């Protein structure tokens, strides 16, 4: 798989692969969306094979905007090794897969981040019986890590800064690393805190036997990524994200979107729902695109609540991922 | 005539080189287009990740280049252990299939059929899951030799044993000591290493057993009868008559098995043993230099394989010279 992607990247005759992503999507009639191989709450297939999660909903929103149908998505489950090559090679149009935004990735690898959809931080999951209450107490411990991410670097830097030593056990496969941790091969497992919450809730068997330690040792803004060199498609992805935030700010929900479109006399709402000023044209979309997006997946707050919020399996608080008026940092520039 | 043949060969070589050059240029241009500077300069950069199981000192401040060396040494270590063990086990199981003792012969056949017909990846995973599932936690580690023997402990953290280290100019035996979480000091064979080495050994030895059995059976039955008639006993017949002749036809297929073993060691990735491929994969991800990392993997395996083939070839040639025959 990896080799095929690699060959595809290498043999692309220069510009021919960059192309117009939007045109390619319209021609194909499907959005090619790269997701994870299974992180509950973000992108995971449920028992019926239906993909669910925040990153999944974002791709549905994009499909609703561009193809007028949230179901016209082709899902590509990618490991952390495959994900960037798949995007670079044109195998997928957008990578919506809990991927951390860093300078190196944003500038050095032919990729560009459209924004962040969830702000996370790396933490530690430990066995409760170990009695460990803080990551600083893990000096000398064996720590399981899934490779191919920023995780192992953060871990090494944290150890250095705290003047402690770990024995790092790196696994490529999520199943293998979980098996190792739950069978007691290592004393702690480190990953993004949201992933840890999901793993504790779904994979541990007995969530009460495990604790997520309070420390967050890194900044992990996760967001959708596109190929460099197609600014038009980049703009569509970025503003779809902003539209979800703007809709929450204006109180537009999946439930009231039809009523608001028919009756609201707020110009900002009218603009957003396609009955006022045209906010589709600059993006090469029609004027009702935001209406379709909200109708399909709801606003950002609804996506959060449904997939990872307090009522979901993950039970994550909104925290820093709230709108600025609620003390968070999810800010959208004006859609006009 | 000869000139034309040479010219043709030269032309083909030039064509191949030009194609390779063309490919390299396209690849380099494409990588620059993606914002990645092609080349091996990144090997001098700081790696930034730790490796748990190393034969030489390594930490996050060291370079990618050193990380590759660590991975290479780990690959060589696990392959060497598995080569020695699988040759021994393969010889026993191979000769065992021909043993007079029916029960032992059947057991050897059963072993061969079971282990050569189950995919290696599955065997690695099964051994690993059994190890980490069944072994006790470090705090309840088994004291392998009891309280009186050497200080060897077996637990989920692996096999911890005393190891000689230099301390103040003298060689002392350092014992493993249980810390807050696990053992430190001495040397440790991790469950990952044990799982990979054991699975490689069991898998390859099954094939080697077949090679051994086939070669021994290919030695004419009359040779055996003649040796027995001369008064050699069963063991002496095997040692002085059968095995030396069988070795000649055994070595080339044996070399193939060893080459397979070396390449199969890359399955270590599945259980988190930091071999060359695992380190290269991590580096590839951190640095974005996919082509270079894969090129390094290819060159290293090619080198290890050619080296093994050369050693086995040399052994075979010497044997033929000494025995004055031809295979």
Do A260 and A24 contact (CB within 8 A), yes or no? Answer: no
Radius of gyration over every alpha carbon of chain A, rounded to an integer in angstroms: 21
CA-atom Rg of chain B in angstroms: 25
Chain A partners of B270 at a C-beta cutoff of 8 Å?
172-173, 176
Residue A17 confidence (pLDDT) above 80: no
Report whether A97 contacts A83 (CB < 8 A).
Answer: yes
| Mean local confidence (pLDDT), A126-141 | 91
CB proximity B59 to A under 8 Å: yes
Best residue in B36, B282, B287, B292 for a mutation probing chain A (most A CBs within 10 Å): B282
> Chain A: residue nearest B155 by CA?
A185
User: Nearest by CB to A172, which of B61, B133, B269?
Assistant: B269
Dist CA A202 CA A214 (whole Å)? 20
Token couple for A56: 């999944």
Nearest chain A Cα to B278, which residue? A172
Length of chain A: 336
Q: What is the predicted pLDDT for the residue at B209?
A: 96
Q: How far apart are CA B248 and CA B70, in angstroms?
A: 36
Residue-wise pLDDT for A233-282, tens only, equals: 999 999 999 999 999 999 999 999 999 999 999 999 999 999 988 999 99
H or E element in which residue A210 lies: strand A210-212
pLDDT in the model for residue A4: 52
Q: Is B121 exposed, middle or buried (0-12, 13-18, 19+ CB in 10 A)?
A: middle
Q: Do B288 and A84 make contact, defined as CB atoms within 8 angstroms?
A: yes
Chain B hits for A166, CB-CB cut-off 8 Å, are 50
Q: What is the pLDDT of residue B308?
A: 95
* Phi-psi label, residue A179: left if phi above 0, alpha if psi -120 to 50, beta otherwise: alpha
Q: Verify whether the Cβ–Cβ distance A148 to B281 is below 8 Å.
A: yes
Q: What is the pLDDT of residue A3?
A: 55
The beta-carbon neighbor of A173 closest among B59, B133, B270 is B270
* pLDDT score, position A40: 85
CA distance to partner chain A, nearest, from residue B59 (Å)? 8
Provide the CA B270 distance to its chain's centre, in angstroms.
15
pLDDT band, very low/low/confident/very high, at A15 (cuts 50, 70, 90): very low
**What ipTM score was computed for the predicted complex, to two decimals?**
0.82
How does pLDDT run across B41-77, given as a tens digit for each residue? 889 988 888 888 888 889 888 999 999 999 999 999 9
Which chain A residues touch B179 with a CB distance below 8 Å? 140
**Separate counts of helices (H) and strands (E) for chain B:** 10, 8
Q: Residue A336 pLDDT more than 90?
A: no
Tally A–B CB contacts below 8 A.
131
What's the pLDDT tens digit per position in B107-154?
999 999 999 999 999 999 999 999 999 999 988 888 888 777 788 899
CA distance A25 to A74: 11
Distance from CA of B112 to the nearest CA of A (A): 28
Q: Of A152, A164, A21, which is closest to residue A90 (Cα–Cα)?
A: A21
- A49-95 pLDDT, tens digit each: 999 999 999 999 999 999 999 999 999 999 877 899 899 889 999 99
Mean per-residue pLDDT, B156-181: 86
Contact A170 B184 (CB under 8 A): no
Residue in B with minimal Cα distance to A107 = B35
Interchain contact B262–A (C-beta under 8 A): no
Mean pLDDT of B224-244: 89
pTM: 0.77
pLDDT digits (tens, 9 = 90+) for A291-304: 999 999 999 999 99
Q: How far is B155 from chain A (nearest CA, A)?
A: 9
Q: What confidence tier does A14 reach under pLDDT thresholds 50, 70, 90?
A: very low
- Residues 16-55 of chain B with CB under 8 A from chain A are 26-27, 29-30, 33-36, 48-52
- Contact list, B181 vs chain A (CB under 8 Å): 130, 138, 140-142, 187
Q: Supply the angle between the helices B191-218 and B243-264 in degrees, to the nearest 10.
A: 150
Torsion from C-alpha of A321, A326, A330, A336, nearest 10 degrees: 150
Residue from A196, A200, A227 nearest A18 by CA: A227
Strand A31-35 with A73-77, pairing: parallel
The confidence band for A1, taking pLDDT boundaries of 50, 70 and 90, is very low
pLDDT of B323 reads 76
**B126 interfaces chain A, CB cutoff of 8 Å:** no
- Cα dihedral value B258, B264, B268, B274, nearest 10: 70
**Contacting residues of B for A160, CB less than 8 Å apart:** 60-61
A129-133, A302-306, B97-101, B184-188, range with greatest mean pLDDT = A302-306
What average pLDDT score do residues B75-96 get? Answer: 96
> Do the Cβ atoms of B280 and B68 come closer than 8 Å?
yes
Instruction: Find which of B47, B154, B181, B279 to mutate to test the A interface (most A CBs within 10 Å of its CB).
Output: B181
Distance from CA of B38 to the nearest CA of A (A): 12
Compute the nearest-CA separation of A120 from chain B (Å).
20
Closest chain A residue to B34 measured between Cα atoms? A110
> Which of the residues B130, B272, B287, B291 would you substitute to probe the A interface, choosing the one with the greatest number of A C-beta atoms within 10 Å?
B272
Tell me the mean pLDDT in the region A200-226: 90
Q: What kind and span of H or E run contains A43?
A: none
Cβ count within 10 A of residue A143 = 26
Average pLDDT of chain A is 89
Partner-chain contact A109 B133, CB within 8 Å: no
pLDDT for A178-211, tens place per residue?
Answer: 999 999 999 999 998 888 988 888 888 888 899 9
What whole-number distance in Å separates Cα of residue A183 and Cα of residue A173?
Answer: 16
Task: Say if the Cβ atoms of A170 and B35 lie within 8 Å.
Answer: no
| Angstrom distance (rounded) from CA B8 to CA B165 | 60
**Secondary structure of A181-242 as H, E, C letters:** HHCCCCCEEEEEHHHHHHHHHHCCCCHHHEEECCCCCCCEEECCEEECCCHHHHHHHHHHHH
pLDDT score for A148: 63
Q: Is A9 on the interface with B (CB under 8 A)?
A: yes
Chain A nearest-CA distance from B9, in A, is: 28
Q: Which of residues 166-205 of A touch B (CB under 8 A)?
A: 166-173, 176-177, 179-180, 183-185, 187
Domains and CATH numbers, chain A: 2-119+222-326 (3.40.190.10), 122-217 (3.40.190.10)
Residue B325 has pLDDT above 80, yes or no: no
Q: Residues of B with CB below 8 A from A176's CB?
A: 125, 270-272
| pLDDT (average), residues B195-216 | 96
Chain A residues touching B38 at Cβ < 8 A:
none
By DSSP bridging, strand A142-146 and strand A167-171 are parallel
Sign of CA dihedral B133, A166, B71, A5: positive
CB contact under 8 A, A156 and B60: yes
For B285, the closest chain A residue by CA position comes to A148
> Does residue B326 have a pLDDT over 60?
no
Question: Each residue of B250-274: pLDDT tens digit?
Answer: 999 999 999 999 999 999 989 999 9
Across the interface, whether the CB atoms of A152 and B282 are under 8 A apart is answered yes
Considering only CB atoms, which chain B residues are within 8 Å of A151? none
Six token digits for residue A277:
């000023």
Residues from chain A that touch B191, judged by Cβ atoms under 8 A, are 185
Interchain pair B35, A228: CB under 8 A: yes
H or E element that contains B311: helix B290-323
* Angstrom distances, CA of residue A15 to CA of A9, A12, A19, A127, A228: 12, 8, 7, 51, 12
CA dihedral for B95, B97, B100, B103, sign (positive or negative): positive
> Which residue in the set B132, B285, B291 is minimally distant from A147, CB to CB?
B285
On average, the pLDDT of chain B sits at: 90
Q: Around Cβ B126, how many Cβ atoms within 10 Å?
A: 13
CB spacing of A156 vs B48 below 8 angstroms: yes
Express as a percent the part of chain B with pLDDT over 70: 98
Chain A residues within 8 A of B272 when measuring between CB atoms: 144, 169-172, 176-177, 180
Task: Tell me the per-residue pLDDT of A106-130, one tens digit each, with 9 for 90 and over.
Answer: 987 889 999 999 999 999 999 999 8
Burial-class residue A231 by CB neighbours within 10 Å (0-12, 13-18, 19+).
exposed
E-only strand ranges, chain B: 142-143, 153-155, 158-161, 163-167, 170-174, 177-178, 183-184, 187-189
C-alpha of A155 from chain center: 21
């Amino acid at each position: 798989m990896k080799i095929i992607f690699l060959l595809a990247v290498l043999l692309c005759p220069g510009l021919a692969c960059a192309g117009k992503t939007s045109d390619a999507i319209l021609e194909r009639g499907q959005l090619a969306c790269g997701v994870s191989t299974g992180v509950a709450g973000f992108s995971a297939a449920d028992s019926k094979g239906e993909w669910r999660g925040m990153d999944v909903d974002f791709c549905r929103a994009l499909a609703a905007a561009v193809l007028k149908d949230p179901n016209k998505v082709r899902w590509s489950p990618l490991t952390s090794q495959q994900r960037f090559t798949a995007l670079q090679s044109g195998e997928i149009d957008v990578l919506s897969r809990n991927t951390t935004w860093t300078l190196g990735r944003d500038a050095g690898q032919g990729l560009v981040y459209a924004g962040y959809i969830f702000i996370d931080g790396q933490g530690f999951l430990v066995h409760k019986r170990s009695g460990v209450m803080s990551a600083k107490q893990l000096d000398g411990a064996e720590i399981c890590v899934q490779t191919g991410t920023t995780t192992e670097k953060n871990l090494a830097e944290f150890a250095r800064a705290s003047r402690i030593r770990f024995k790092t056990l790196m696994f490529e496969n999520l199943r293998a690393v979980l098996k190792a941790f739950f069978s007691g091969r290592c004393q702690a497992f480190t990953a993004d805190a949201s992933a840890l919450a999901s793993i504790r809730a779904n994979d541990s068997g007995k969530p009460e036997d495990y604790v997520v330690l309070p420390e967050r040792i890194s900044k992990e803004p996760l967001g959708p990524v596109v190929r460099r060199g197609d600014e038009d498609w980049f703009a569509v992805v970025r503003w779809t994200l902003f539209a979800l935030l703007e809709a929450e700010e204006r109180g537009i929900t999946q439930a009231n979107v039809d009523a608001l479109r028919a009756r609201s006399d707020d110009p900002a709402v009218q603009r957003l729902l396609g009955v006022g000023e045209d906010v589709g044209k600059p993006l090469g979309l029609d004027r009702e695109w935001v209406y379709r997006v909200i109708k399909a997946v709801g606003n950002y707050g609804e996506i959060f609540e449904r997939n990872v919020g307090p009522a979901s399996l993950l039970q994550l608080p909104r925290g820093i991922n709230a709108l600025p008026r609620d003390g968070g940092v999810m800010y959208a520039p004006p859609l006009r | 005539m000869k000139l034309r043949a040479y010219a043709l060969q030269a032309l083909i070589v030039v064509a191949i080189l030009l194609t390779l050059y063309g490919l390299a240029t396209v690849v380099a241009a494409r990588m620059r287009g993606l914002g990645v500077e092609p080349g091996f300069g990144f090997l001098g950069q700081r790696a930034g990740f730790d490796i748990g199981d190393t034969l030489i000192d390594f930490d996050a401040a060291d370079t990618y280049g050193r990380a590759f060396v660590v991975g290479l040494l780990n690959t060589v270590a696990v392959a060497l252990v598995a080569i020695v063990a699988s040759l021994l086990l393969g010889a026993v199981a191979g000769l065992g299939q021909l043993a007079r003792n029916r029960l032992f012969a059947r057991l050897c056949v059963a072993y061969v059929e079971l282990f050569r017909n189950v995919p290696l990846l599955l065997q690695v995973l099964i051994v690993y899951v059994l190890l980490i599932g069944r072994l006790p936690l470090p705090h309840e580690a088994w004291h392998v030799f009891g309280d009186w023997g050497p200080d060897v402990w077996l637990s989920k953290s692996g096999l911890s044993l005393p190891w000689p280290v230099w301390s103040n100019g003298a060689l002392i035996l350092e014992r493993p000591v249980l810390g807050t979480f696990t053992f430190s000091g001495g040397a440790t064979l991790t469950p990952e290493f044990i799982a990979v080495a054991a699975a490689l050994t069991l898998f390859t030895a099954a094939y080697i057993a077949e090679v051994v059995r086939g070669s021994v059976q290919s030695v004419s039955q009359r040779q055996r009868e003649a040796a027995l008639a001369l008064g050699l006993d069963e063991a002496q017949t095997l040692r002085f008559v059968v095995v030396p002749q069988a070795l000649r036809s055994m070595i080339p297929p044996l070399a193939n098995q060893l080459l397979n073993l070396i390449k199969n060691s890359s399955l270590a990735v599945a259980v988190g043993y930091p071999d060359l491929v695992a380190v290269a994969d991590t580096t590839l991800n951190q640095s974005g230099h996919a082509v270079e990392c894969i090129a390094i993997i290819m060159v290293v395996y090619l080198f290890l394989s050619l080296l093994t083939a050369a050693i086995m070839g040399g052994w075979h040639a010497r044997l033929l010279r000494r025995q004055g025959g031809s295979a």
